[in-house]
Chain A
Amino acid sequence: MAIHTLAVLVENSPGVLARVASLFSRRGYNIDSLAVGPTENPKVSRMTIVLNLEGHALDQVSAQLFKLVNVIGISEMKDSDSLKREILLVKVVNTPATKEIVSKHKAVISDEAAGTISIEAVGQSSEIEALLKELRPHGIRELVQSGLVALERGDKTLSDRTLSTMGTANESNPNSSTADYQN
């Protein structure tokens, strides 16, 4: 099993999240996290899907996903050439020790009450995990995490590649050995 991150551009149409979720459910693909939100184009939403997959399954997942009429483009976001971030909000006991952990991890105290502090952290999965590991012995009262979001490094954008051709017939690349599918 290996973790893969897919960036998926979808038409911003009703039911599109259900279509993607239904596909993953019926084909038995395990989603670790899914984040969806607007993009610079109001007609397009972007999903970042983190999957735990075996062997060649990534090509198959991408191909099945690409069959959805509302899916415009898919790209694998590899660790080496993309920025990946998660958001953590966590409520812990208000003690000097927990405050010290916050400053050590360059997190932010966003709310402070008599008994607790609410901490905000943005970072890679490993950074978030490291922070949580230190906080855990002090008693975590409540925590919430966003799904991971990812953006390619450098001048390239996924949107450029797909949206420039939006609305025109353009050959996709099904013979490609990577998980990249663009219309």
Chain B
Amino acid sequence: MWDPIWITVKLAFVTTVILLALGTPVGWWLARSKAWWKEAIAAIVALPIVLPPTVMGFYLLIALGPDSPIGQISTEIFGRALPFTFAGLVVGSVIYSMPFVIQPIRNAFEAIGDRPLEVAATLRASRLDSFFSVALPMARPGLLTGAVLGFAHTVGEFGVILMIGGNIPGETRVLSVAIYDHVEALEWGQAHILSAGLLVFSFVVILSMMMLEKKLGRRLR
């Protein structure tokens, strides 16, 4: 029973870290750029919200499979294609949870506006300096929201995982898939424990996020 939980937490954690590292510059660019095509990028980032997970999983399976260019590269490096590996789950989750991390970060950067950065510039802070000393700390509530949403959303991932990860116990079998298996096998007791656990987890996550946001938001206003 503990294997799926551990894999799920590991997957959500790695995914969140990657998304924060990736989402901060992308969110910054989406908030600040004046390029006319930036909304097209924003739409691509938001696509996983509306795309059925099976569709995404299907394309990922093809894109990462051993016959694809990416698959060939990963075979060169890791000795195998990404589907049915933990690394493959990470790639899928990063794409699947991307909008839930980038959107709050973008909103937080947009909410800062030009003024604090102009003030920083008049106080001798270079652009990079003001990003780290003004923009990032001021966007902290948004970064936190993004991290929590990304983590929680990855924990609840099912369709994409089933499509690309399969169901290898101890390697790619995550919580949601484990619950599905228990139900299929009519092991209601196990399904109950895991489901109730996820329910409580989700509630606690949402509640603490709302409270934190309120607290941080008040501090920054």
**Pairing of A with B:** no
List chain B positions with a Cβ less than 8 A from chain A.
none
